[in-house]
Chain A
Amino acid sequence: MISQMEGSQAVAQSVALCRPDVICAYPISPQTHIVEGLGAMVKGGTLTPCEFLNVESEFAAMSVAIGASAAGARAYTATASQGLLYMVEAIYNASGLGLPIVMTVANRAIGAPINIWNDHSDSMSQRDCGWLQLFAESNQEAVDLHIQAFRLAEELSMPVMVCMDGFILTHAYEQIDIPTQAQVDSFLPPYEPRQVLDPAEPVSIGAMVGPEAFMEVRYIAHAKQTMALDLIPGIAADFARTFGREAGGLVRRYRCDDAETIVVALGSVVGTLEETVDALRAKGEKIGLLSIRSYRPFPLAAVRAALKDAKRVVVLEKSFSVGLGGVVSADVRMALSGLHLRGYTVVAGLGGRPITQAALTRMLAEAVADTLEPLTFLDLNHDIVNRQLAREAATRRSGPIAENLLRDVGGKSPRTETADKTEVTA
């Protein structure tokens, strides 16, 4: 049924349609509305039988999900940002044990400085943890990906993160087509665990493994992600047949045929980029867009196939590997091994900075002219950065960086004057 609703509420309804047995909730913005929605359904009796646990931390949330999943339950939780980092040890454990937990990550920046707004630093920090990572372009896709995620997770017996941009998607109201229970039931069979804690057939799960088999156990996780490269398009195709709309898959190509310049991105910024590409196409620019929907497994072959005939590739990413540059860019480069394309990394939107069509248009014009820096920070305020670097060069006790920058943004910098005076008197 099509209705106007908040992204988080839509995801809550979607997860509920997947008939989860155990849901663990710990509040963190911008994920909170999702578990609030699910909690209301469990408490109100519309989602039953289901256990909804208000736990004391994200570490406990993932740990409860691990126990529940190992005991044969379909387990779900949601988190973001600091919460994702707080559960990291359990995240690796869930994938190492091969437990098909599904988790929403409402993508948000990581502090310090503390920041509640959107970028992809949180889930990107977990790209090597063994979980599959699917990225939603829109709220409709977020709804649809959750249904696919449970099926994918359970077919592989591996956990799946559904990543959706915090606030931009989670708090946006738009038209959503919520599927019927019958549709979801026909697409998602009941959970049949590969391993289960059952007194009738006792097994030990989570034994210590030494050098004799550890590499093989880890390799199997990789082998499963490789298998997922085939499984994900199949599930997306089946989804399209059942629900009558397209969602998921490994990548989505937009106006890439004959494109000389292709922009690669993930998540909700793809929508803005589509409009930017349309505008540039209208001006005769041969430009296209590649949306990466499955970030783990990373679809090397699909990315290579989509990009190989272009002249230049611009990876626009809301993540940043400090000391190197791009995170997604490194993976895209791997997909292009041996090909000679001009490559640009554009780090954009960190901590919720708006990515405007005007800025994208300016940046892409430079890219097409090949005047863009190989590593570009979109809309970076160089003035306040340089002022802070000068301050640090001049003064030992230059003070907290973030506070100085905020003062500079506000046009004042009393801290510098005070600090200078202190040093003189000392």
Chain B
Amino acid sequence: MSQDLKFYQTGTFTVGNRLLDPDQRTVQSSLARDNSLTSGHRACQGCGEALGARYAVDAAMRATKGQLIAANATGCLEVFSTPYPETSWKLPWLHSLFGNAAAVGSGIAAALKVKAQKAGLEHSATHVIAQGGDGGTTDIGFACLSGMFERNDDVLYICYDNEGYMNTGVQRSSATPPGARTATTLPLGPQPGEEFGKGKNVPLIAVAHEIPYVATASVADLHDLEAKVTKAMTIHGARYLHVFVPCPLGWGSASSDTIKLARLAHESGIFPLFEAEHGEITSVRKIRHRVPVEDYLRLQKRYAHLFGSHPRPDIVARLQAMADKNIKRFNLLEDAA
């Protein structure tokens, strides 16, 4: 793409495919898309993870010409897609355990490497992704993830981050943001919801491993997400993609607001979109129309305690400060010129 395209249909949230040349349109807009996670699965209405997985895996399928194998952690994505004897996956897919998707991916990659060597090839024509939710990635699967990174195994790991353990009934994970209500961080006491000062930023931890490629993406920015997956599939070694996927059930948001919430998370600065290569941040997705964090928070019942009969503007201010810090740290605003 030589020209830096911008999609200015503000207020509609469409991606403007019809304004583009066919070769620049999204994978999802194409009838030829693989539908790797095909219809009929049991995700909730408005599930951000189902969208994220469909976008990401279809883009990876196109990039690899269908030569793709997926390892999947236990979680919503696994449960809603494969209740025996049905499966929504149209690519070879393996679910082993909650905490080992990255290691299973490493094992598949190792097997493919040996197979390629036996055939006299440098690299296997078949590529590997491993995927899971934030619990399976930032908590229980973290050791295997870090191991896969440090060995630079030839796997793209995709985390679909909905900021909590939704499959087990909305409990707190290390990706749950401060102030958020979950079943294990109730809006009680002086610090309602998740406490400040906890949690971890796995995209930046991935960057610290200095692996070839790390990116964050959002279901609100389909072109960006697909471009990052496509780029990741051109690179060998350990790669990490962290996709922001709102969860209507866990967040207490309207099913119709999934994309809107993902967009507000980016435009408020609360979820920065960036790329990093070998430990250096190489690009960020600028914010077009900056919005206050409150616009993002008010659409979600998990933050309702901040705005009810005992409002907590102090907590909203701290969340705004987090967004402001991201904006400064990643230089997310368009240059004035």
Chain A interface (Cβ < 8 Å from any Cβ of B)? 21-22, 24, 48-51, 53-57, 59-60, 63-73, 75, 89-90, 93, 97, 197-199, 201-210, 212-213
Q: Which residue among B109, B114, B115, B151 has the maximum number of chain A CB atoms within 10 Å of its CB?
A: B114
Q: Are B84 and A207 interface neighbours, CB within 8 A?
A: yes
- Interface digits, B81-113 against A, CB 8 Å rule (1 contact, 0 not)? 011111101111111110110011111111111
Q: Are B96 and A68 interface neighbours, CB within 8 A?
A: no
- C-alpha spacing A264/B112, complex, angstroms: 45
Q: Can you list 5 A-B pairs, Cβ within 8 angstroms, ordered by A?
A: A49-B114, A53-B106, A55-B103, A70-B104, A71-B107
Which residues of chain B are near A21, meaning CB under 8 Å? Answer: 110-111, 114-115
B260 shortest CB reach to chain A, Å: 32
B261 contacts A by Cβ under 8 Å: no
> Within B174-222, which residues are at the interface with A (CB < 8 Å)?
none
B246 shortest CB reach to chain A, Å: 24
Q: Are A202 and B93 interface neighbours, CB within 8 A?
A: yes
Cβ-closest chain B residue relative to A72? B111
B69 contacts A by Cβ under 8 Å: yes
Which residues of chain A are near B279, meaning CB under 8 Å? Answer: none
Which residues of chain A are near B110, meaning CB under 8 Å? Answer: 21-22, 51, 53, 64, 67-68, 73
Q: Are B117 and A49 interface neighbours, CB within 8 A?
A: yes
Partner of B69 from A48, A60, A199 at Cβ < 8 Å: A199
Q: Are B114 and A60 interface neighbours, CB within 8 A?
A: no
- C-alpha spacing A22/B151, complex, angstroms: 15
B61 shortest CB reach to chain A, Å: 9
Cβ-closest chain B residue relative to A65? B107
Partner of B97 from A24, A56, A89, A199 at Cβ < 8 Å: A89
Q: Are B92 and A64 interface neighbours, CB within 8 A?
A: no
A18 shortest CB reach to chain B, Å: 14
Partner of A56 from B67, B69, B144 at Cβ < 8 Å: B144
- Interface digits, B53-79 against A, CB 8 Å rule (1 contact, 0 not)? 000000000000011110110000011
- C-alpha spacing A69/B107, complex, angstroms: 8
Cβ-closest chain A residue relative to B125? A199
B73 shortest CB reach to chain A, Å: 11
Q: Which residue among B69, B89, B110, B147 has the maximum number of chain A CB atoms within 10 Å of its CB?
A: B110
B283 contacts A by Cβ under 8 Å: no
Q: Are B92 and A63 interface neighbours, CB within 8 A?
A: no
Q: Which residue among B105, B109, B150 has the maximum number of chain A CB atoms within 10 Å of its CB?
A: B109
Q: Assuming A51-B113, A67-B107, is B66 touching A204 (CB within 8 A)? A: no
B110 shortest CB reach to chain A, Å: 4
Q: Are A208 and B151 interface neighbours, CB within 8 A?
A: no
B118 contacts A by Cβ under 8 Å: yes
Q: Assuming A59-B100, A64-B107, A199-B126, is B151 touching A54 (CB within 8 A)? A: yes
16 additional contacts (CB under 8 A) given A63-B97, A202-B92, A207-B84: A22-B107, A53-B106, A59-B99, A63-B144, A65-B107, A67-B111, A69-B107, A72-B115, A89-B97, A90-B100, A93-B96, A197-B69, A199-B92, A204-B92, A209-B84, A210-B83
Q: Are A60 and B94 interface neighbours, CB within 8 A?
A: no
Q: Are A197 and B92 interface neighbours, CB within 8 A?
A: yes
Chain B interface (Cβ < 8 Å from any Cβ of A)? 66-69, 71-72, 78-79, 82-87, 89-97, 99-100, 103-115, 117-118, 126, 143-144, 146-147, 150-151, 153
Q: Which residue among B87, B96, B108, B115 has the maximum number of chain A CB atoms within 10 Å of its CB?
A: B96
Q: Are A204 and B96 interface neighbours, CB within 8 A?
A: no
- C-alpha spacing A206/B117, complex, angstroms: 28
Which residues of chain A are near B95, meaning CB under 8 Å? Answer: 204-207
Q: Are A56 and B92 interface neighbours, CB within 8 A?
A: no
Q: Assuming A67-B103, A93-B96, is B144 touching A60 (CB within 8 A)? A: yes
Which residues of chain B are near A66, meaning CB under 8 Å? Answer: 94, 96, 100, 104, 107
- C-alpha spacing A90/B102, complex, angstroms: 13
- C-alpha spacing A203/B94, complex, angstroms: 8
Q: Are A64 and B93 interface neighbours, CB within 8 A?
A: no
Which residues of chain A are near B79, meaning CB under 8 Å? Answer: 208
Which residues of chain A are near B107, meaning CB under 8 Å? Answer: 22, 24, 53, 63-71, 73, 75
Which residues of chain B are near A22, meaning CB under 8 Å? Answer: 107, 110-111, 114
Which residues of chain B are near A54, meaning CB under 8 Å? Answer: 151
Q: Are B89 and A93 interface neighbours, CB within 8 A?
A: no
Which residues of chain A are near B99, meaning CB under 8 Å? Answer: 59, 89
When A and B form their complex, which 7 residue pairs have the shortest distance between CB atoms, in order from nearest?
A: A67-B107, A63-B103, A73-B111, A206-B95, A63-B100, A71-B111, A56-B147
Cβ-closest chain A residue relative to B72? A206
- C-alpha spacing A67/B94, complex, angstroms: 8
Which residues of chain B are near A63, meaning CB under 8 Å? Answer: 96-97, 100, 103-104, 106-107, 144
Q: Are A198 and B92 interface neighbours, CB within 8 A?
A: yes
Partner of A68 from B67, B83, B108 at Cβ < 8 Å: B108
Q: Are A207 and B91 interface neighbours, CB within 8 A?
A: no
- C-alpha spacing A60/B113, complex, angstroms: 18
Q: Are A203 and B92 interface neighbours, CB within 8 A?
A: yes
A245 shortest CB reach to chain B, Å: 31
Q: Assuming A56-B147, A57-B143, is B84 touching A64 (CB within 8 A)? A: no
Q: Are A202 and B96 interface neighbours, CB within 8 A?
A: no
Partner of A64 from B85, B106, B115 at Cβ < 8 Å: B106
Q: Are A67 and B105 interface neighbours, CB within 8 A?
A: yes
Cβ-closest chain A residue relative to B151? A53
Q: Are B103 and A73 interface neighbours, CB within 8 A?
A: no
Which residues of chain A are near B71, meaning CB under 8 Å? Answer: 67
Which residues of chain B are near A199, meaning CB under 8 Å? Answer: 66-69, 91-92, 126
Which residues of chain A are near B104, meaning CB under 8 Å? Answer: 63-64, 66-67, 70
Which residues of chain B are near A205, meaning CB under 8 Å? Answer: 93-95
